């Protein structure tokens, strides 16, 4: 089936395709309205060394970087993602979803603090609250360990909470799925109705749908063995006798010398004289001379006898 045939089917079954396309449009519009846009706001913070550790660098914390700060950043991120932190933020009035993680491809103790939701203003407020809570959580960790103020790890905001950005990828994915599903179902329904309405196609040369001509005479079939219901046996129908070839025919007896006499004896062609007296089966009397002559002529094999019987 080519594109032209598909177009013809769609034109013939427009009453099936059109409602399907309208339903697809309605489904796509519903997905557009029901799937909300997600907004995301993000801030970046960094952990700085203590004042005591930066004395050798003139008090510049960015010149003093230790491996311990990376470990502290990882511990703080895990704490901010805990259920206790989520409950605390909700108690503070946050309605967005928050997450903390180490910054990708970072060479220092950098953290990404992210807030996401469907309300643009609420997302921005939640990200600001989350950034403030991260600094408070860092101070709480160190105060629990009774760290002196000169040795406390500090936090600085590198990137403040940004204006929320719409994340439309998920929404567009749902819209595309709804549109493709509607179009596919519409096409399937259209071709299904076309197949049901068209029915079987007539074959060539006036054949019927079943592949046979309605008025064609029945073909002569080879006779098969039939079964005798009375005897319970199978027998084959008689076969037509075929004429023997000329080479296989029997040679006429008159064309072979002496063959006529032998054939006559075999079939009993020579009959006894009914007027003659019957002879005794057990006796060995003399036979009739004429009969002996005939027998002698038959079995003697002389030329006169053979010629005589040959032309009788």
Residues in the chain: 312
Q: Residue 241's pLDDT is what?
A: 57
Q: Residue 27's pLDDT is what?
A: 86
Q: Residue 125's pLDDT is what?
A: 94
CA distance 243 to 184: 72
CA distance 272 to 263: 17
Please report, in tens digits, the pLDDT of each residue of the chain (312 residues total): 678 888 888 888 888 889 889 999 998 998 888 888 899 999 999 999 888 888 888 888 888 777 788 889 999 999 999 999 999 999 999 999 999 999 998 888 999 999 999 999 999 999 999 999 999 999 999 999 888 888 899 999 999 999 999 988 888 888 898 899 999 999 998 888 888 887 655 445 445 444 444 444 444 444 454 455 444 455 555 565 565 555 555 666 566 555 555 555 454 544 445 554 454 444 444 444 444 444 444 444 444 444 444 444
Q: Residue 306's pLDDT is what?
A: 47
Q: Residue 10's pLDDT is what?
A: 83
Query: Domains in the chain, ordered, with CATH?
Result: 3-34+177-197 (no CATH), 38-167 (3.30.70.1130)
Q: Residue 55's pLDDT is what?
A: 83
Contact residues for 179 (Cβ-Cβ < 8 A; gap 6+): 24, 27, 28
Query: For residues 12, 13, 14 and 15, what is the CA-based torsion angle, rounded to 10 degrees?
Result: 130
Return the closest-CA partner of residue 29 out of 169, 171, 185, 188: 171
Strands (E) across the chain are located at 38-48, 97-102, 110-117, 154-159, 165-167, 226-228, 233-235
Tell me the per-residue pLDDT of 139-183, one tens digit each, with 9 for 90 and over.
999 999 888 888 899 999 999 999 999 988 888 888 898 899 999
Q: Residue 62's pLDDT is what?
A: 82
Q: Residue 291's pLDDT is what?
A: 45
């Amino acid at each position: 089936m080519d594109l032209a045939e598909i177009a013809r089917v769609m034109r013939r079954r427009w009453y099936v395709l059109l409602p399907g396309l309208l339903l697809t449009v309605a489904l796509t519009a519903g997905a557009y309205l029901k799937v909300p846009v997600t907004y995301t706001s993000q801030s970046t913070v960094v952990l700085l060394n203590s004042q005591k550790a930066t004395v050798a660098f003139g008090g510049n914390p960015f010149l003093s970087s230790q491996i311990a700060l990376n470990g502290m950043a990882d511990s703080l991120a895990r704490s901010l993602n805990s259920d206790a932190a989520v409950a605390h933020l909700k108690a503070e009035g946050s309605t967005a979803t928050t997450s903390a993680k180490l910054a990708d491809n970072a060479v220092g103790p950098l953290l990404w603090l992210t807030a996401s939701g469907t309300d643009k203003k609420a997302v921005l407020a939640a990200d600001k609250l989350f950034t403030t809570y991260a600094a408070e959580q860092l101070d709480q960790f160190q105060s629990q360990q009774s760290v002196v103020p000169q040795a406390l790890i500090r936090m600085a905001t590198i990137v403040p909470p940004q204006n929320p950005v719409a994340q439309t990828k998920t929404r567009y994915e749902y819209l595309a799925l709804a549109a493709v599903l509607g179009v596919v179902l519409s096409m399937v329904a259209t071709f299904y109705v076309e197949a049901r309405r068209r029915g079987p196609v007539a074959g060539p040369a006036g054949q019927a749908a079943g592949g046979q001509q309605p008025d064609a005479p029945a073909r002569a079939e080879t006779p098969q063995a039939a079964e005798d219901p009375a005897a319970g046996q199978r027998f084959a129908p008689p076969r037509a006798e075929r004429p023997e070839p000329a080479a296989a025919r029997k040679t006429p007896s008159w064309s072979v010398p002496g063959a006529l006499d032998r054939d006559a004896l075999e079939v009993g062609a020579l009959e006894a004289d009914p007027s003659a007296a019957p002879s005794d089966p057990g006796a060995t009397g003399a036979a009739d001379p004429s009969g002996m002559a005939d027998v002698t002529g038959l079995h003697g094999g002389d030329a006169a006898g053979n010629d005589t019987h040959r032309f009788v």
